[in-house]
């Protein structure tokens, strides 16, 4: 199977190690043919990687001119955009295979990949940082229907163009809005993340968040805790063992020198690398949660200010009024595991039975809860692109009708006003083509 990744010249130096590891590990599986979309000088790429055992496609994003017109600002970088929007070009690059694998350059292939049984309508993907939440997908690993992506290129690019500079996740947000309700599922083992712990069955590992260089700093230098972005520290803290293990594999792969025949000389049995026991992999996170809960329990009743100080700035005590399923499961690793094992139907059910009495905490949700008083149609559609499709299909008159009928009961959230500026209306295809 062909595997595509993409980057631009600005990312070359910072991600050289990651790209070498990705290409070498892809070759080592024996089943992936590396293809690199690169916006830059080919000689620079070959010199940085150190070999030419991949197919280079020199290309700029179809949105390059539009990207250049938007100045850098908080949450938006032209350099990042020029690289990440390149993946939307895969449909025009590939002409032979009906399905190809795409992944970001910070991925690692740890065992042979076999996705021949999947035939996605447009693309197959897995969730982001919360593996229990399948409402949105992470575009860092995708199995792409080439012909379908090529057919949708025009309206998809228009959707992405309208959202340029307004979304925190660049083209990933455009992909989620445009293909909302129309994407297929990829197994979690084909898009595993180190902060989920060590998974002996994982086949593709994505360093979503902290990269190996960040993990090394956090594992070896306590001062890095203050210098590393808060979101990276939070993800790393969920499973230091997971990062230690997969960073070690990435280091091995990055040092591997493929032969001229295209076969990697990697003969290391990666499974022989010391693997923490599954129960050990989550011990640190669980202990951290228990320590946080213990601090809460020592706070006198009614001391709201004290409770706020006892928790980190990105945490809050969960209540009936502010409860958020994703945030609760993300912080409470033991509850998430219990839900996965079928002991509880949801984090909400655990909270009602035990969490409320235990004074459990949750991460502070980024998006506020939609209420009758704060309801904003554009913000609601931006956070819930599936609602826009329901409206287009005639199931609801408008966003407010959905909120009153279902959204309020489902505790739906909405993007803070002005963050997305209502792009959803312009990106949803009211008449999606038949997939027959």
Q: What is the pLDDT of residues 123-156, one digit of tens each?
A: 999 999 888 888 899 999 999 999 999 999 999 9
φ/ψ of 69, rounded to 5, equals: -85, -5
Q: Which residue has better confidence, 306 or 178?
A: 178
Residue 416: per-residue pLDDT: 62
In the predicted structure, residue 331 carries a pLDDT above the cut 90:
no
pLDDT band at 66 (very low <50, low <70, confident <90, very high): very high
Residue 281: per-residue pLDDT: 35
Residue 284: per-residue pLDDT: 42
pLDDT band at 435 (very low <50, low <70, confident <90, very high): very low
Residue 335 has a CB neighbour count (10 Å cut-off) of 23
Of 168-182, 233-247, 296-310, minimum mean pLDDT range = 296-310
CA 404 to chain centre: 30
Q: Which among 128, 107, 75 has a CA at the least distance from the CA of 4?
A: 107
The mean pLDDT value of the chain amounts to 80
State which of 79-83, 203-207, 287-291 shows the largest mean pLDDT.
203-207
Residue 413: per-residue pLDDT: 83
The C-alpha angle with vertex 103 and arms to 101 and 104, in degrees rounded to 5, equals: 160
Q: Which residue has better confidence, 78 or 220?
A: 78
- Helix, strand, coil percentages in the chain from 3-state DSSP, rounded to 5: 45, 15, 40
In the predicted structure, residue 204 carries a pLDDT above the cut 90:
yes
- Yes or no: say if 18 and 212 are a contact pair by the CB < 8 Å rule: yes
- Yes or no: say if 130 and 124 are a contact pair by the CB < 8 Å rule: no
Q: Which residue has better confidence, 318 or 255?
A: 318
Q: Which residues face 143 on adjacent strands? A: 101, 124
In the predicted structure, residue 305 carries a pLDDT above the cut 50:
no
Give the start-to-end residue ranges of the domains of the chain. Answer: 2-209, 282-363, 377-427
Domain 2-209 homologous superfamily, CATH: Spore Coat Polysaccharide Biosynthesis Protein SpsA; Chain A (3.90.550.10)
In the predicted structure, residue 414 carries a pLDDT above the cut 90:
no
The model's pLDDT over 364-412, given as tens digits with 9 standing for 90+, comes to: 776 788 899 999 888 888 777 678 767 866 788 999 999 999 888 877 8
CA–CA distance, 125 with 186 (Å, rounded to integer):
5
Look at strands 2-8 and 33-39 and give their pairing: parallel
CA–CA distance, 394 with 383 (Å, rounded to integer):
20
CA–CA distance, 110 with 265 (Å, rounded to integer):
15
pLDDT band at 16 (very low <50, low <70, confident <90, very high): very high
b/e map of 170-182 (b: 16 or more CB within 10 Å)?
bbbbbbbbbbbeb
In the predicted structure, residue 353 carries a pLDDT above the cut 90:
no
Q: What is the mean pLDDT of residues 317-329?
A: 82
Residue 333: per-residue pLDDT: 80
The number of CA neighbours under 13 Å toward the Cβ of 249 is 31
Residue 21: per-residue pLDDT: 93
Q: Which residue has better confidence, 222 or 326?
A: 326
Of 78-92, 168-182, 235-249, 405-419, minimum mean pLDDT range = 405-419
pLDDT band at 56 (very low <50, low <70, confident <90, very high): very high
Residue 108: per-residue pLDDT: 94
Q: Quick check: helix, strand or coil at residue 245?
A: helix
DSSP letter string over 301-348? TT-HHHHHHHS-TTEEE--TTT--HHHHHHH-HHHHHHHHTTSSS-HH
In the predicted structure, residue 42 carries a pLDDT above the cut 50:
yes
CA–CA distance, 264 with 287 (Å, rounded to integer):
40
Q: What is the mean pLDDT of residues 255-282?
A: 46
Spatial neighbors of 28 by CB under 8 A, at least 6 apart, are: 109, 253, 256, 264, 266
In the predicted structure, residue 301 carries a pLDDT above the cut 70:
no
Q: What percent of the chain has pLDDT over 70?
A: 79
In the predicted structure, residue 275 carries a pLDDT above the cut 70:
no
Q: Quick check: helix, strand or coil at residue 143?
A: strand
State which of 56-65, 67-76, 358-367 shows the largest mean pLDDT.
56-65
Going by the DSSP 8-state scheme, the letter that residue 135 receives in this structure is S
CA–CA distance, 62 with 92 (Å, rounded to integer):
11
- Yes or no: say if 286 and 333 are a contact pair by the CB < 8 Å rule: yes
Of 96-100, 166-170, 226-230, 419-423, minimum mean pLDDT range = 419-423
Q: What is the mean pLDDT of residues 336-363?
A: 84
Q: Which residue has better confidence, 79 or 226?
A: 79
b/e map of 148-166 (b: 16 or more CB within 10 Å)?
bbbebbeebbebbbbbbbb
Residue 323: per-residue pLDDT: 83
Residue 223: per-residue pLDDT: 55
């Amino acid at each position: 199977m062909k595997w595509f990744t993409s980057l631009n010249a600005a990312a070359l130096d910072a991600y050289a190690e990651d790209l070498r590891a990705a290409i070498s590990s892809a070759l080592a599986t024996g089943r992936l043919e590396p293809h690199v979309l690169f916006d830059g000088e080919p000689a620079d790429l070959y010199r940085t990687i150190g070999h030419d055992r991949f197919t280079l496609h020199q290309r700029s994003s179809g949105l390059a001119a539009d990207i250049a017109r938007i100045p850098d600002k908080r949450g938006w970088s032209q350099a990042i955009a020029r690289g990440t929007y390149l993946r939307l070009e895969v449909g025009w690059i590939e002409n032979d295979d009906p399905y190809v694998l795409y992944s970001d350059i910070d991925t690692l292939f740890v065992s042979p990949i076999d996705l021949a049984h999947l035939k996605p309508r447009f693309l197959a993907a897995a969730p982001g940082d919360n593996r229990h939440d399948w409402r949105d997908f992470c575009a860092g690993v995708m199995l792409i229907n080439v012909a379908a992506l090529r057919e949708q290129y025009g309206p998809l690019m228009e959707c992405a163009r309208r959202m340029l500079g307004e979304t925190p996740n660049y083209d990933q947000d455009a992909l989620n809005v445009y293909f909302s309700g129309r994407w297929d599922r990829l197994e979690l083992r084909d898009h595993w993340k180190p902060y989920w712990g060590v998974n002996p069955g994982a086949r593709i590992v994505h360093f979503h968040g902290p990269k190996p260089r960040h993990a090394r700093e956090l594992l070896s230098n306590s001062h890095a805790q203050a210098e590393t972005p808060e979101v990276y520290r939070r993800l790393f803290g969920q499973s230091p063992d997971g990062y230690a293990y997969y960073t070690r594999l990435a280091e091995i792969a990055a040092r591997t020198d493929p032969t001229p025949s295209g076969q990697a000389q990697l003969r290391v049995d990666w499974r022989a690398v010391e693997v923490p026991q599954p129960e050990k992999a989550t011990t640190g996170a669980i202990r951290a949660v228990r320590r946080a809960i213990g601090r809460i329990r020592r706070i006198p009743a009614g001391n709201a200010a004290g409770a706020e100080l006892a928790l980190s700035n990105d945490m809050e005590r969960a209540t009936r009024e502010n409860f958020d399923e994703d945030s609760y499961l993300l912080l409470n690793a033991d509850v998430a595991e219990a839900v996965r094992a079928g002991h509880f139907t949801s984090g909400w059910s655990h909270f009602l039975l035990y969490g409320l009495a235990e004074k459990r905490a949750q991460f502070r949700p980024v998006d506020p809860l939609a209420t009758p008083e704060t309801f904003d149609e554009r913000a609601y559609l931006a956070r819930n692109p599936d609602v826009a499709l329901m409206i287009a299909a005639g199931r609801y008159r408008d966003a407010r009708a959905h909120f009153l009928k279902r959204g309020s009961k489902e505790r739906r959230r909405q993007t803070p006003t002005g963050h997305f500026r209502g792009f959803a209306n312009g990106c949803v295809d009211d008449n999606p083509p038949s997939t027959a």
